């Protein structure tokens, strides 16, 4: 394991969700212990836990610990409470498919055990949530190995937002090849986009790469074109929050601009993420719902006003990169190249 901090897990007694509050990084490492559904919803909504895989893990553990508190004595009553908790958590973030994937997986496990007692179902929910965490850790390493196969020692790599250990459960997705490369002496030079408006690149990616001893340089988002033109970037690696059936990919706002620049400078653009992030029910990026966040994150995001009080702000959290700009999609099952509509489906055969 690369990162010593797992962003979402259970406490020792397995009755509370434990999160590292990522809104406070890199200045403070504060852990939250939560078992109230409103607090868990708030933690997901306010990005105390963030990154598509980590959101899914937090949702699964959150659904379990909140269901654990139920006093229901019949499966019928317990199912009603379980579904209410699940449906409420599902409203926290609309774009990251892992949230819904994890909640759906927990629901399927409930139904599989529905002929058992309430206590037995609770134990099954614990087992399923722990499996989601363990599987994500294995996925991260596999994604990293497939990604590393496309890279060479000494490369300059650009990444946007944070798709590392604190966005998942260990290796991360986009950062996984960097960690594995560091172990093998590849000596990558990583450039981390600052990633406005919440600075996940400078606050989180730079934090964890620097902590791991990887050569990392923070740049403002609008510097990406220059460092590409200067020949400092050999490949772009980003994570993903949802991949449509045709390969269109939703990721943190600004990713599509990076992809367009990479095409202009003939730099490969790699999207890395688990197959759970691929949504075959969404035909293209046009159907992906883009979360709009509070205007204040732009105009008052750093504790002081950076725009006039009466000026409007537009704050989409994600954008969609058209599949034509993506060189390859890298999953735990392997590297997928165009045509995506055909080759993505092969992952699920």
Tell me the CA distances in angstroms from 213 to 25, 187, 193, 219, 221, one per residue in order: 18, 10, 18, 18, 23
Residue 242 phi/psi, 5-degree rounding, is -165, 135
Angle of helix 75-89 relative to helix 97-112, nearest 10 degrees, comes to: 170
Q: Give the closest residue to 220 by CA, choosing from 204, 239, 197, 238.
A: 197
Quickly tell me which residue has 């199912």 as its tokens. 79
Angle of helix 118-148 relative to helix 75-89, nearest 10 degrees, comes to: 30
What's the gap between Cα 10 and its chain centre?
A: 19
Q: Give the closest residue to 77 by CA, choosing from 11, 133, 32, 121.
A: 121
Determine the Cα–Cα distance for residues 268 and 266; give it in Å rounded to an integer: 7
CB 49 within 8 A of CB 80: no
Tell me the CA distances in angstroms from 244 to 143, 213, 247, 283, 285, one per residue in order: 19, 35, 5, 6, 6
- In the three-class reduction of DSSP (H, G, I as helix; E, B as strand; rest coil), residue 208 is classed as helix
Number of residues assigned to the chain: 349
Q: What is the DSSP letter of 10?
A: E
Which of the residues 193, 221, 241, 319 is marked catalytic? 241
Does the annotation count 222 as an active-site position?
no
Angle of helix 176-183 relative to helix 118-148, nearest 10 degrees, comes to: 60
Q: Give the closest residue to 275 by CA, choosing from 347, 341, 181.
A: 347
Tell me the CA distances in angstroms from 30 to 18, 27, 42, 206, one per residue in order: 10, 10, 16, 18
Catalytically active residues are 241
């Amino acid at each position: 394991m690369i990162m010593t901090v797992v962003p979402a897990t259970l406490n020792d007694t397995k009755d509370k969700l434990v999160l590292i509050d990522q809104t406070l990084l890199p200045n403070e490492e504060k852990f939250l212990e939560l078992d109230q559904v409103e607090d868990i919803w708030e933690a997901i909504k306010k990005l105390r836990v963030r990154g598509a895989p980590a959101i899914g893990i937090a949702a699964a553990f959150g659904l379990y610990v909140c269901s654990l508190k139920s006093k229901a004595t019949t499966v019928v009553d317990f199912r009603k409470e379980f579904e209410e908790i699940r449906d409420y958590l599902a409203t926290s973030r609309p774009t990251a498919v892992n949230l819904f994937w994890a909640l759906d997986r927990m629901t399927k496990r409930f139904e599989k055990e529905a002929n058992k007692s309430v206590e037995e179902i609770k134990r099954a929910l614990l087992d399923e949530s722990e499996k989601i965490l363990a599987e994500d850790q294995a996925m991260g390493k596999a994604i990293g190995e497939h990604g590393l196969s496309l890279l060479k020692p000494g490369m300059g790599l650009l990444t946007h937002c944070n798709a590392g250990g604190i966005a998942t459960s260990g290796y991360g997705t986009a950062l996984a090849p960097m960690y594995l490369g560091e172990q093998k002496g590849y000596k990558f030079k990583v450039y981390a986009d600052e990633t406005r408006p919440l600075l996940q690149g400078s606050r989180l990616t730079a934090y964890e790469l620097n902590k791991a001893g990887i050569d990392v340089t923070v740049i403002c988002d609008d510097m990406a074109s220059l460092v590409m033109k200067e020949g400092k970037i050999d490949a772009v690696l980003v994570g993903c929050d949802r991949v449509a059936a045709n390969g269109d990919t939703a990721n943190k706002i600004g990713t599509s601009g990076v992809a367009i620049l990479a095409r202009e400078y003939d730099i490969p653009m790699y999207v890395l993420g688990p197959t759970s992030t691929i949504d075959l029910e969404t035909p293209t990026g046009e159907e992906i719902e883009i979360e709009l966040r509070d205007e204040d994150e732009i105009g008052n995001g750093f504790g002081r006003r950076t725009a006039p009080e009466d000026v409007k702000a537009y704050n989409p959290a994600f954008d969609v990169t058209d599949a034509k700009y993506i060189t390859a999609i890298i999953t735990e099952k392997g590297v997928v190249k165009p045509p995506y509509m055909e080759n993505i489906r092969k992952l699920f055969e």
